[in-house]
Amino acid sequence: MAQVRQVFGSYRKDDFADADTFIANALKLMERYPDSAIEEVCDPRSGIVTECKFPPTIAELKQACDYHAERQARIAELACSTFKPREPRPPLPPGGAANLLVRRSHPDYDKYIAWSQAPERDDREWKWDEDERGIWVGLNAQADIRKHATADTWKRYTDDELRAIYAPKPAEPQP
Distance CA 34, CA 15 (A): 28
Smallest Cα–Cα separation from 121: which of 105, 99, 100, 137?
137
Q: What's the DSSP call for residue 14?
A: G
> Which pLDDT belongs to residue 108?
85
Region at 3 (left for phi over 0; alpha for psi -120 to 50; beta for the rest): alpha
Low-confidence ranges of the chain (pLDDT < 70): 1, 3-16, 148-154, 175
Res 127: pLDDT: 92
Closest CA to 61 of 81, 32, 83, 82: 32
pTM over 0.75: no
pLDDT of residue 18: 76
Chain centroid offset of residue 3 CA = 41
